[in-house]
Amino acid sequence: MDRAVAAAVSEMVTNGVSASKVKRVAQSMGIDRMSASQVSRMCSSLDDTVADLQERDPSDVRYPYIWLDATQQSSYPSTRRAGRCRRCARR
């Protein structure tokens, strides 16, 4: 099975799509030989990876990040300041 297909199947199941629906999606993409049990086997291989991630202690790892606000000014929420209601970015 192609790695891209396996990744797509894993993502669908992770997002709550049932194995039988994944099978139907695969068939609509031209993959005729994917059974629900095959989908389950593909996803069970993720169990070890998930268990490994859950057991890690990330307290000693630092992740640099940049916080960006991509909200358009017209979609800022309304807030009340100094007795006046107006749209503005939150802090």
* Domain parsing of the chain, residue ranges: 3-47
Q: Torsions phi, psi of 80, nearest 5?
A: -105, 125
Across the range 61-69, mean pLDDT stands at 80
Long-range (24+ apart) CB contacts under 8 A made by 72-77 are none
Q: Positive or negative, the Cα torsion across 61, 67, 70, 72?
A: positive
Q: So what's the pLDDT on residue 1?
A: 57
Q: So what's the pLDDT on residue 72?
A: 64
Q: So what's the pLDDT on residue 78?
A: 77
What pLDDT digit, counting tens, does each position of 16-64 carry?
888 788 888 888 878 877 777 777 777 777 777 778 888 988 888 888 8
Q: So what's the pLDDT on residue 60?
A: 87
SS in 3 state form for the chain?
A: CCHHHHHHHHHHHHCCCCHHHHHHHHHHCCCCCCCHHHHHHHHHCHHHHHHHHHHCCHHHCCCCCCCCCCCCHHHCCEEEECCEEEECCCC
Q: So what's the pLDDT on residue 20?
A: 80
Q: So what's the pLDDT on residue 65?
A: 83
Q: So what's the pLDDT on residue 84?
A: 81
Q: So what's the pLDDT on residue 3?
A: 76
Q: Positive or negative, the Cα torsion across 52, 58, 61, 66?
A: positive
